[in-house]
Amino acid sequence: MDLSICIVSYNCRDLLAACLRTIEATAGDLSCEVIVTDNASGDGTVQMLAEDFPHVQVIANGGNAGFAGGTNQAMARATGDVLLMLNPDTEVRPGALTALVEFVRSQPDLGAVGPRLIGPDGELQLSCHAFPTVGRALIAQLGLHRLGARSRWLGAYDMTWSDHAQTMRADWLSGAAMAIPRNAWEAVGPLDEHYFMYFEDVDWCYRAARAGYRCWYLPEAEVVHYEGASWADMQVERVLAAHRANFRFFRKNRGRAIEICVRALVAGGTLLRGIFWTLAWPFGCRVCSPLNRPAMHLAVLREALAGRAPGPQTKT
């Protein structure tokens, strides 16, 4: 088997169906299997799969095991030489799957390779990054990454200084679409299920790097990504989940002292932004996004000051 495509789905039936149709249309001569883990969707996803895609292997969970748990379940069943994590809110462009498999086969020390991700409007989504550090956390909290996007220092985390039309090395890749050779997956191990949402990909690539594997970004493989479909109506929850995962990454991989430092940076940056929006609110400086509301900043501040290391999480 050339390729196993592992998808974790949660309440995005129609997008998943569109994704599966693009896989069928673009697989070409590859021998390919698709495994979908459904995390107890309430929108008829499992029934749709049985009726419209009977060839797809389905793991129907009774609860939400999260992205990491669902991916690990699918990977454990996969038989392909190349394992592809793929979000259900994606559409695979022609030639992408073949390009990813061929690149994996050409790189003996490869940990993972990621395609170019674009939004439905064709806009580039930043999908290759440098590993998080305290310095990069400080840059983000001060907003300097926006002011110096073309700088190798200020734009390091999102690699905005680089040409995203060129193949290049990266520290970590977005788990929305990431191809991994079987030998690397078996050597590095499964995703850390303590991350319920976000940073599973960062953590896995970090472990891969420590084991001597390299990650690459391959723009000739292109995937459309309708970002955040499963959590589209849960913006506040998404932000808090991302911060919890960020803090966990630092504690796990850099130690408690570094985690506390990062929490302090996030708390300070959030406090300053919260004060600004609180003062601006009465004067009509309202921005539609709930992310700019004072209550959002207060929630993030509380999370940063909580001081606890997030453990295993569940979601119903």
pLDDT by position in tens, the chain (length 316): 999 999 999 999 999 999 999 999 999 999 999 999 999 999 999 999 999 999 999 999 999 999 999 999 999 999 999 999 999 999 999 999 999 999 999 999 999 999 999 999 999 999 999 999 999 999 999 889 888 998 999 999 999 999 999 999 999 999 999 999 999 999 999 999 999 889 999 999 999 999 999 999 999 999 999 976 555 456 778 889 999 999 999 999 999 999 999 999 999 998 887 787 677 666 655 555 556 677 788 889 999 998 765 444 433 3
Rounded to whole angstroms, the Cα distance separating 132 from 246 reads 9
β partners of residue 214: 110
- DSSP strand pairing (57-60 vs 177-181): unpaired
What are the structural domains of the chain? 3-126+164-231 (3.90.550.10), 235-306 (no CATH)
Alpha-carbon dihedral 47, 53, 57, 58, rounded to 10 degrees: -20
- The residues facing 73 across adjacent strands are none
DSSP assigned state of 29: T
Burial group, residue 71, by CB count within 10 angstroms (0-12, 13-18, 19+)? buried
Burial 98-108 (b: 16+ CB within 10 A, else e): bbbbebbeeee
Q: How buried is residue 316: exposed, middle or buried, by Cβ count under 10 Å (0-12/13-18/19+)?
A: exposed
CA distances (Å), 236 to each of 67, 85, 89, 115, in order?
A: 18, 25, 20, 28
Nearest alpha-carbon partner for 6 in 54, 67, 47: 67
d(CA 217, CA 195): 24
Q: Nearest Cα to 146, choosing from 165, 132, 126?
A: 126
- CA pair distance 175, 87, nearest whole angstrom: 8
Task: Tell me if 157 sits within 8 A of 130, measured CB to CB.
Answer: yes
Q: Tell me which H or E stretch contains 184.
A: helix 182-188
Question: Is the distance from CB of 45 to CB of 61 less than 8 angstroms?
Answer: no
Task: Give, in order, the Cα–Cα distances in Å from 182 to each of 116, 139, 185, 227.
Answer: 22, 36, 5, 27
Q: What is the pLDDT of residue 227?
A: 79
